[in-house]
Structure 1
Amino acid sequence: MREWLYEAGIGEARAALIEGGGIVRAEIEADDDGVCAGTIAEGRLDRILVPSRRAVIRLDSGEEALIEPVPKGVSDGGRLLVEIHRAALPEPGRAKLAMARVAAADAVPVAGPSLLDRIMTSGDPVRQLRAHEHDALEAAGWSELLDEAASGEAPFDGGGLRLSLTPAMNLIDVDGWLDPAALAVAGADAAARMILRHGITGSIGIDLPSANSKAGRLAAGEAVDAVLPQPFERTAVNGFGFLQIVRRRARASLPERLQGDPLGAAARALLRRAERTPGAGARTISAAPGVIARIEARPDWQQELARRIGSTVALRPDPRLAISAGHVDAETP
C-alpha cells in the first residue's frame, strides 16, 4: 500500500511517499522558502537587468523575483500581476530568485498550493504524524534519505551513484562492478529512482558505462522510462553512455536544500529530534556554533519547541561538534 506521511515540523514541513516500507518520493517545505510556485501576486517592476529580456520585480510581500521576458508596456515602477512558476532555489553562497511570468488577463491574486495541498490531491492517502507517536518517517529511512541528499551518494545492487549539483545541470555518475551492459541498465534504474526520491528536476545528466550495443543503450533508456512518471523529456543514451533528462523545475530538490543550506538543515533536524526526545524537564540542544546560531536567530522556533514539549529549551554551542553531530538531552531522561 502506498501512502504519504506528512509532518508539520518546527521550521519545515516534511512529506514522504512510502511504498513497500521505503521512501520512494520525499519533499521538504521550509518556513523561509518564500513565495511558492503557483502563486499569483501583484508587484511592481523594480529594475531591468537585460533590456526586453530580463527584469527584477518586487512583489507586494517584499520578495523579489525575476521575470522573463520583460512585459511590453511596463516601465520601471509599473504595476503588474504575475504568476510564480519556479520558487527561489538555495545555492551555496547565494540563492536564485524565484521566476515569474505575466499572469493571465483574468487571473486574480491567490497563494500557490502548499506541500500539504499538493499531496492531498495526489490520489494517494495521507497520514499526518504527531511527535508522541511511533516515528514512522524514521522507520521508513528518513535519516538515511537526508544523509544521501547531503552527500550525493547512494548505493544500489552492483554499484553506486554520485550526484553533483552544478549551476547548469545536476550530474549523476554511475559506477560499479557489473559488466558494462548490466551496469548501464541497473545504474539507469537506480538513477531514475534517486531523481524521483529526491525531487530532482531541471536538466539532469546521467553518466552510464559505455554500452557496446544499441540494444544495451535502448534497455538503459527504457529503465528510466519505467521509473520516472511523465512529464519529462530525455535523449537517447549515446555511445559514450550519456543520457540527459529534463524535468519541469518548480521548487528545490532535497539535495539542493541540504547542500545549499547545511546549517539550516541541521538546525531543523535537531528541532525535530528535540521534539521527540523522551524524558521530562528542559531540553538542551548541543551543536556546532553555526547550527546554534541559526536556532538563536529564530526565537519563534524556540518558542514553538517549548510550547510543544511543555518545557524550556537551552542551547549549547560546542565547537568540537561537526555540523551533523548535534544532540539533544532531557533534564530528566
Structure 2
Amino acid sequence: MPEWLIEEGIAETRAILVENGEILASRVVWDDEPWRAGAVTSASLLHRVGGTRRGAVRLPDNSVALIDGLDGGLTEGAALMVQVTRAAMAERGRSKLPQVRPAPQRQPTPAPTLAEELSAGPHPVRTLRITDRSFDVAGWDDLVEQALTGEVAFSGGTLLVCPTPAMTLIDIDGALPLRALALAAVPAIAGALARLDIGGSVGIDFPSLEHRADRQTVDAALAEALSGWRGERTGMNGFGFVQLVARLERPSLVARSALHAAGAAARRLLRQAERVQEPGVLLLTAAPAVLRALRPQWEAELARRSGRSVRRVEDARLALHAGFAQAVVP
C-alpha cells in the first residue's frame, strides 16, 4: 500500500508517496510561505470589482490577496474572515497574489501542516528521522534533479517541463516514430504530474499526428493514464496539443526550482549537510548566490541539529545546484 513519508528539514518540509520503493507523488512546503492553502485569517476589504463578487483584501501582514465570493452588502474597509485557497505564486518578473474566499463564522487558524493535510487522505503518513535514508533509497535526489532541469527521461524520449506565467508546458522529444513516441510519453506525463506536484493549467505538446485515428489512440491512452487524476482535459488537436486543467493551490517542484533557484539550492545544501556522518566542522561550499540565500537562522538551526560549527566557502565556478557539504578537521 502506498505510504507518505515526511522529512522535516531545515527551511523545508518534504513528503513523498512511496510504493514498492518508487516515488508516486511529492509535496514540499517552504517555511517562508506565510499564506498557504487552508489558512483562515482576518482581513479587510480593499476594493471590489463593480458588478462582480470579486475584489481584493488586505491580510494581517499588510500583504494583498484576491478574493471571490463576496457578499453583496460588503463595502470597502469592511472586516471579514477569509480562507486561503491558493498560495502566492512567483513568476518571471512578478508574483501572482494569493487567493482567498470568505469564511464567515470561522476562527483564525494557520494552514494545516503537511503531515496534517496528508493524514486527511487515504494513505498512511509517517514522519522520518532526518538521518533516515528512505528518501535516498526511493530516489529523491533524482526527483530533485528532474525538478531542477525540467527534464524527465522515459524509454524512447524525454519530457521537457517548463513553467510559464500562463501554464506549465510539457514538450516531448525523442527518436521514435511519432505515434510510438506519443504513446511512450503518456505514462511519463501522468507520472510527472504527481511526482513533480504539477497543478493548474498544463499544456502538452505531443508530436503532430496526421491521422485522426492515431490522435484518438493517444487520447484514449492519456485518459486511462490519468484515470485517478482530478481535473479536466481537452482532446488532442490537429497540431498535437492537449490541455489539462486541475486545481492549483501551490507552486510545483519545477516552478520552485526555476523561479527560486538559489533558495532551492540552499535548501538542498542544508539537506546534504544534515546527512554528513563523518566527525568535524561542517563546511558548506557553494556558489555565492546560494550562500547569500542561506539565512542566518537556517545556519543556526543546522549548527543546533548537528552539534557542530558551520563554515562557508564561496566558489564562483560552481553552478547553483553543484554545492556540497562535508566534514573537515577544525
User: Quick check: TM above 0.5?
Assistant: yes
- Residue 129 of structure 1: CA displacement? 1.9
- Give 1:328's match in structure 2, choosing from 298, 303, 325: 325
Matched letter for residue 199 of structure 1: D
Residues 302 and 16 of structure 1: is their aligned pair in 2 closer, same or farther, counting only changes over 3 Å? same
Contact 1:37 1:86 in 2 (8 A): yes
CA distance in 2, matches of 1:292, 1:112: 29
- CA distances 1:124-182 after superposition (whole Å, capped 9, x unpaired): 2223222333x211221111111111211111111111112111121111122222222
Kindly report which structure 2 residues correspond to 1:14-53, keeping only aligned pairs within 5 A, or say none. 14-46=14-46, 51=50
CA distance in 1, matches of 2:191, 2:156: 15
- CA distances 1:162-208 after superposition (whole Å, capped 9, x unpaired): 11211112111112222222222222222121112111111111111
State the match for 1:306 in structure 2: 303
Matched letter for residue 222 of structure 1: A
Residues 35 and 52 of structure 1: is their aligned pair in 2 closer, same or farther, counting only changes over 3 Å? farther
What stretches of structure 1 move > 6 A for 4+ residues in a row? Answer: none
Contact 2:8 2:130 in 1 (8 A): no
State the match for 1:237 in structure 2: 236
Does 2:167 align with 1:169? yes
Does 2:219 align with 1:218? no
Contact 1:149 1:198 in 2 (8 A): yes
Moved more, 72-81 or 234-243: 72-81
Residues 52 and 147 of structure 1: is their aligned pair in 2 closer, same or farther, counting only changes over 3 Å? farther
Q: Secondary structure at the match of 2:172?
A: strand
Matched letter for residue 243 of structure 2: Q
Q: Secondary structure at the match of 1:311?
A: coil
- How many residues are aligned here? 328
State the match for 1:201 in structure 2: 199
Kindly report which structure 2 residues correspond to 1:121-132, keeping only aligned pairs within 5 A, or say none. 121-132=120-131
State the match for 1:190 in structure 2: 188
Matched letter for residue 319 of structure 1: A
Residues 293 and 209 of structure 1: is their aligned pair in 2 closer, same or farther, counting only changes over 3 Å? same
State the match for 2:119 in structure 1: 120
- CA distances 1:227-256 after superposition (whole Å, capped 9, x unpaired): 332421011112221111101101111111
- CA distances 1:277-331 after superposition (whole Å, capped 9, x unpaired): 1122321111111111111xx2221121111101111122222222111111212
Contact 1:34 1:63 in 2 (8 A): no
Q: CA RMSD in A?
A: 2.1
State the match for 1:153 in structure 2: 151
With structure 1 as the length reference, what TM-score do the two structures score?
0.91
CA distance in 2, matches of 1:47, 1:292: 41
- CA distances 1:16-74 after superposition (whole Å, capped 9, x unpaired): 111232212111100011211122211112356x5555543222244431224665333
CA distance in 2, matches of 1:203, 1:186: 22
Percent identical across equivalent pairs? 42
Give the unaligned 5+ runs of structure 2: none
CA distance in 2, matches of 1:182, 1:120: 40
CA distance in 1, matches of 2:311, 2:17: 34
Give the unaligned 5+ runs of structure 1: none
